[in-house]
Amino acid sequence: MMNPYTASLFLNQDALADFEKQIRVFKQKRQKVFVLLDDHTRYFCWPLIQAYFIEIQNDTMFVEIPHGEENKNLDQLQSIWKQLTKAGAGRDAVLINLGGGVITDLGGFAAASYKRGITTIHFPTTLLAMVDAALGGKTGIDFEGYKNHIGAFYQPQKVYVLTDFLKTLPERQWKSGLGELIKYGFLTAKGIKPLENFSFLQNQQLQETIIEAAQFKLNVVAEDPTENGMRKILNFGHTIGHAFESFAMSKQQMLMHGEAVAAGIVAELYLSVKLKGLKIYVLEEYISFYRLHFEPFKIVASDVSNLLEIISHDKKNRGGELLLVCINSNEKPVFDVPIEPEQLRECLIWYSELF
């Protein structure tokens, strides 16, 4: 029986072959198909899959939004609902989301809420969306200044990963995805090995790493869809990473989500050494990797109090206790590791002296 908490994941040739079959089903059932995209993905990504829609072109409609996080909002959601309504989309309509995490989050939520749920399919086009945002069923919009404030868990029927989309991805976006991709290395006890020879060029190894990471996330989500236990490991690097992200934002510094996670991993590996006996060479290797691929995110000692304040509001904390994901001495992830504010302070001071 299909697990309602996971989508089916397909890569490259398999994805295109499955999508071809899928198109025939849409045609046979005369389903209306809507393609949600932004101005960038319409220009760069749509041409790569356009040919597959020829058979159903009379029943295919575009819903286009401007690119960027600032458009993951209620106005755009309403505009999608309106366009579906105007085009007479019924409960059998299909919404295909072609884009990065903004499109898959917004489109996923539009599909979840329109007529109490219509079929949705993701074509993630950024590295971050391929290994993270398009998987796991978290959908939603930003609201009143709060990120992902309104949303729902809603699974896409299928996720098609086509790594050719990455050819046009700007370098900064690559780095943001790389931060999340590294995280899976630590969650699967491989560390940085799969990415040691990483380059922004397409290669077989990178494709395998992407699909392994994506499949790993789907398996974890299937085991713990509502994040009561195991799914928490996906937050590795994120407690301190999110604090760096919020801190940078408050100072109008540009730090992308995955870049913040990559920096957060430095600090959380340090805590893993201190609290869980992780071998120090794992931390040292990662610091070299981080220096090589990222412009290190810098803080000074006087920033530490601010960062501690931000972390104390982290939604992953329970009953006033700070909880963290660490990597243990066997290089396996462990969640709900309690941490004292003093240990955190010491870690951040160490980090401030490192870069």
Choice from 12, 23, 27, 44 touching ligand NAD (CB under 6 A) = 44
Choice from 99, 156, 185, 194 touching ligand NAD (CB under 6 A) = 99
As measured in angstroms, the least distance from the Cβ of 103 to ligand NAD is 6
- Judge contact between 277 and 328, C-beta under 8 A: yes
Which residues 204-233 are close enough to bind ligand NAD by CB under 6 A? none
169 binds ligand NAD (CB under 6 A): yes
As measured in angstroms, the least distance from the Cβ of 125 to ligand NAD is 4
**36, β-bridge pairs:** 63, 97
As measured in angstroms, the least distance from the Cβ of 170 to ligand NAD is 6
Q: In the chain, where does DSSP find H-type helix?
A: 12-28, 39-44, 46-49, 74-86, 101-113, 127-128, 171-187, 204-223, 238-250, 257-276, 280-293, 304-312, 341-354
- Judge contact between 24 and 55, C-beta under 8 A: yes
Determine whether 235 is an active site residue: yes
- Judge contact between 260 and 297, C-beta under 8 A: yes
Torsion of CA 219, 37, 113, 15, to 10 degrees: -30
Q: Which is nearer to ligand NAD, 162 or 267 (CB)?
A: 162
Determine whether 42 is an active site residue: no
Among the residue ranges 15-23, 25-33, 161-169, 270-278, the one whose residues contact ligand NAD (CB under 6 A): 161-169
CA–CA distance, 258 with 239 (Å, rounded to integer):
13
Q: Which is nearer to ligand NAD, 135 or 299 (CB)?
A: 135
268 binds ligand NAD (CB under 6 A): no
Residue carrying structure tokens 């995280």: 183
As measured in angstroms, the least distance from the Cβ of 171 to ligand NAD is 11
133 binds ligand NAD (CB under 6 A): yes
Residue 38 CA: distances (Å) to CA of 35, 114, 135: 10, 20, 19
Q: Which is nearer to ligand NAD, 187 or 348 (CB)?
A: 187
Determine whether 257 is an active site residue: yes
Closest to 182 measured CA to CA, from 349, 253, 328, 174: 174
Choice from 19, 109, 160, 165 touching ligand NAD (CB under 6 A) = 165
Positions in the binding site for ligand NAD (CB under 6 A): 38, 40-41, 44-45, 67-69, 72, 99-103, 105, 125-126, 128-129, 132-133, 136, 138, 147-148, 165, 168-169, 173, 176
